[in-house]
Copies of this chain bind each other. A is one copy, B any other.
């Protein structure tokens, strides 16, 4: 089966550890050990999370001697934001419709007194 870029991006964002890692990377590049530091988790576990972010294209890495600093790549996040945006109007309309329905119900209730 094939997994789209969007699938991977949303999946990457569905874990609080990974979102926190992205938040930290937004502050600037970081090494694995620095990314791991805030969490009560072993290095290999964090390494796996980082790999999920890499596979989603959200993080790029380069070699610097033993180090392999991670850099945030925001492009896939834009794609995700665009997907949400694409539906925002419809959702807004939907929301308005619900609001309207609620008003309707209040009116009926009042009349019924």
- Contacts from A to B (Cβ < 8 Å): 4, 6-8, 10-11, 13-16, 19, 22-23, 26-27, 72, 74, 77-78, 80-81, 83-85, 87-88, 90-92, 94-95
Contacts and interface: CB of A to CB of B under 8 A. Distances in A.
A7 B80 CA distance: 15
Contacts of A16: 4, 6-7
Contacts of A84: 77, 80-81, 84
Contacts of A83: 13, 19
Nearest to A7: B14
A23 to B, nearest CB: 7
8 contacts: A4-B16, A7-B15, A10-B11, A10-B13, A11-B14, A26-B94, A74-B92, A81-B84
